[in-house]
Amino acid sequence: MELKGRKIFGGRGEGKAIVSSEGISFYGGVDPDTGIVAEAGHPLEGKSIAGKILVFPQGKGSTVGSYTMYRLKKNGKAPIAIINKECDTIVAVGAIISGIPCVDKIDIEKIRDGVKVKVDADKAVIEVSE
């Protein structure tokens, strides 16, 4: 299945999807050293986003979150690419400064957790394995 969205930051990547139905606050919500989601009660709590295609509706919380994304990238714990329903300022800026491919305006409900996803952010296209 191919889905078309909008490019936030270019690049390509392929990997397993980790899907959150809730927004993610990178500052305080994700451990910058391990890539593990730390927010209490979050659907992804205790799971690692490192090396995955991270799928979630949009960012939330403090604007310092952009720097947390950058810290993840530098620590080798960033997601391969990000897919959002509606990208917000924090995630957009974080993706740009960290160089993480990012596409939004995607109907993320069509992506199941664990499936293989190919992201071509330059063309704003993603390919989801059935």
**x/- letters, 20..59, toward other proteins (CB under 8 A):** -------x----x---------------------------
H-state helical runs in the chain: 26-29, 65-74, 89-98
Window contacting other proteins (CB under 8 A); options: 17-25, 42-50, 71-79, 112-120: 71-79
Angstrom CA distances, 26 to 11, 80, 121, 130, stand at: 21, 16, 21, 30
Q: Judged by CB under 8 A, does residue 64 bind other proteins?
A: yes
Q: Looking up tokens 């330059």, which residue turns up?
A: 122
Window contacting other proteins (CB under 8 A); options: 14-22, 67-75, 106-114, 119-127: 67-75
Q: Judged by CB under 8 A, does residue 90 bind other proteins?
A: yes
Query: Residues 58, 20: contact at Cβ < 8 Å?
Result: no
Q: Considering 21, 62, 66, 98, which one is annotated as catalytic?
A: 62
- Residue 62 annotated as catalytic: yes
Q: Judged by CB under 8 A, does residue 4 bind other proteins?
A: no
Q: List the beta bridge partners of residue 126.
A: 3, 119
**CA-CA-CA-CA dihedral for 6, 10, 13, 18, to nearest 10:** -50
Binding site for other proteins (CB under 8 A): 6, 8-9, 27, 32, 63-64, 66-67, 70-75, 87-90, 92-93, 96-97
